[in-house]
Amino acid sequence: MDAPVGLVRSALPSLVHIHTVVPPEHPSARLLGEERMGSGCVVDREGLILTVNYVVMGGDEILVTLPGGREVPAEIVAQDFEIGLAVLRVKGVRLTPLSTGTFDSLRLGEPVFVLAASGPEERRVAGGCVTYLGEFDAYWEYWIEHGIMASAFNPGLGGGGLLNLRGQLLGVVSLSLNELCHHSFAIPADYFTQHRKELLRYGRVTSRPRRGWIGFFPHPGEDGLVVAGVIPGGPGERGGLQEGDLILAIDHREVSTRKELYLALWEHEPGERVQFDLVRGDDARRVEVVCGDRAAFYACGKSERPES
């Protein structure tokens, strides 16, 4: 499916390029790099831009290239570390916002297109259709109830828009799913629109219970969930979790999927203790970890101190 040329042209003024510089000491720099490029979608004519959090996380300098090539500084006004979205603001400019659609209005097979920046002044588009609507989990302690997959692959940098043929922003493209033949995964725009007031007022979602964070990467294996890595300086490493550990249970509750693992973990808030029953080599072990706060860890740019 190719999006109508006129529709794409009408959406182009609402897409920007993002350039982020991250200090080398920031905990995200090792995995994501010290210089990041991304796309962003204008959602308010007064300068609000929606993007994916990994593009701007830890940035001490963020530059946005507007349609027409003008480069302006931007500031982070809100971050949702659990859903993966960030909101930027540029000052002193009037922008053209996208209207937003809703997840509930989407249907499988619906034609959509992805609009993304591939450089400061380069924009690309790809068409396709919605192929999946529902739960999505990933290895960085990530699970959302509503996710969107589309056969429209991401033609540019993360943070671009997934739009319908009415020109409405349905979601923000987070991942390119190459194992699914160039599909893309988008975070529904609803996660921004439903929490817009508290995001802009507090810089985060305050109505959602705080989730305990471990800082590890669980992967499904033949025998269960295996720790594929831990975040240096994070709660899991401090508590003694190691790469290669086979997780059997959390707080004596057996877990066999990432969703089960995450939902059991998120019954705890930052500062609370959680017990992992696991196998390391040939030995059964029990490891106790003090849950951390992901937002605090990455916002501070330094390791948290364990809470007593």
| Section 233-254 average pLDDT | 96
Residue 229: Cβ within 10 Å count: 19
| pLDDT tens per residue across span 41-87 | 999 998 999 999 999 999 999 999 999 899 999 999 999 999 999 99
Catalogue all structural domains in the chain, each as residue range(s) with its CATH number. 5-89 (2.40.10.10), 103-195 (2.40.10.10), 216-300 (2.30.42.10)
- Residue 229: how many CA atoms within 13 Å on its side-chain side? 5
pLDDT for position 307: 38
Residue 149: Cβ within 10 Å count: 22
State the pTM of this model: 0.93
Tokens of 44: 């308010």
pLDDT for position 301: 42
C-alpha torsion sign, points 126, 132, 135, 140:
negative
| pLDDT tens per residue across span 87-123 | 999 999 989 999 999 999 999 999 999 999 999 999 9
Question: b/e map of 203-219 (b: 16 or more CB within 10 Å)?
Answer: bbbeeeebbbbbbbbbe
Residue 178 identity (one-letter amino acid) = N
Please state, rounded to an integer, the average pLDDT across all residues of the chain. 93
Cα(214)–Cα(131) distance, integer angstroms: 32
Residue with tokens 């893309």: 184
Q: For residue 55, which of 138, 171, 174, 170 has the smallest C-alpha distance? A: 174
